[in-house]
Structure 1
Amino acid sequence: MRIYSKFIVFIMVFGTINVLNAQKDSKCKVINEDTLGTYEGKCKKGLAHGTGLYKFSDGERYYEGKFKKGKFYGKGEIYKINNGQKEVLEKGIWENNKYLGEKKINAYEVNRTENVDRYTIRKVAEGKRVEISFFQNGVRNNVQNLNIFVNNGIDITGTNIRGFQVIEFPFKCEITYVTQNKFKTITYRVQFDFIINEPGAWDVFLYN
């Protein structure tokens, strides 16, 4: 009876540990055809999001790289270990679990520019922020009717400067405003849309 009781206790404890482990693993899910793999990495709202490592259920293959909303998304690679050596099977860019190949992603892209004389977009440090400044005739430009639409980030407001911090990249931004020309004789509308893909601290300068 004592042996039987100990066996029951062991089963209960072991089963509880397995349940807890399963609950722990299920806190961050990866959405793909292989539902029995394991994940370690960053999470958002219960899904793999950010940098992480996924071990397929076959126990041989791994995906290491970027995730978005539970799926392989961004730079990453699938590999396996043979005799202690890493063998890369696919490396490059992924989108919604689909391998796109060794496609290079630009650090930033400008999608639309209207009535902008010139612009500068540059990475100045590591971080998670973007600051936007306006210039005319070598000094700060006091623009009017400024509207900025972004996909994420916390707003920073200053004198003739706008910015966003605690950003998740890619960072999408659409800017519209009204300004006078250099001779202060006419007023016109400006639009500037861009995406920054590479994480960092960025400065965006717009000149009119």
Structure 2
Amino acid sequence: MKHILSVLLFVFLFSFPQYVNAQEDCKVLVPEIDSIYTGKCRKGFAQGKGTAIGVDSFTGKFYKGWPSKGTYTWANGDSYTGEFRKGKRNGEGILTLKLADRDSIMEGLWEEDLYLGPKPKAPKIINKFQIDRYTLSKSGGMKERVLINFLQNGNRNTTITNLRIDASNGVETKMGYSQGFEFIKFPVTIKVSYTTMNKLNTSSHDAIFEFEIFEPGDWVVDIFN
């Protein structure tokens, strides 16, 4: 029994300094939180889940020594919970400022510590009938526009008849085989109804796709049958 206890004591005394040194050698690259670190480490840097404490504190995930996602708390009690990149607020997050009578909250998107605004609301599908699938995406263009494409079997759907597209505002437009509306004031609601052949081209059916887009931009809507 004494021999076993001696072995366990030796292992503990041998391992504990290594653990302490590993934490001491595990660098956190934000000076305000680099005094004490407990958590996972990789190649000498904080990596994965951990907590770093200094003048301020951070608990969450680290990447190569930098806070990546979690909660950063300043000495005055203000805090930010969300995404980081190289120590700065980047991505989606919530900043809470501790004021005398109440908390002030800023929630949304951030870039290089600058607040960009609330996270855009995702498009809403109001009605979908006889639609296989669909995609709604921003094209990166400069216009306030929605263009609609009809696809089938990996190609343009050439069997569309009785097509009707109604929008809550905007001016009708066409670009190649795409059609829709431009000069839109968002949010906009668009309803598309038409008749199409099925994939095997053996029968036809009516289809309806109605949606609302909230975020301004140049949008492309692909409808698959």
How does the TM-score come out when normalised to structure 1? Answer: 0.49
How does the TM-score come out when normalised to structure 2? Answer: 0.46
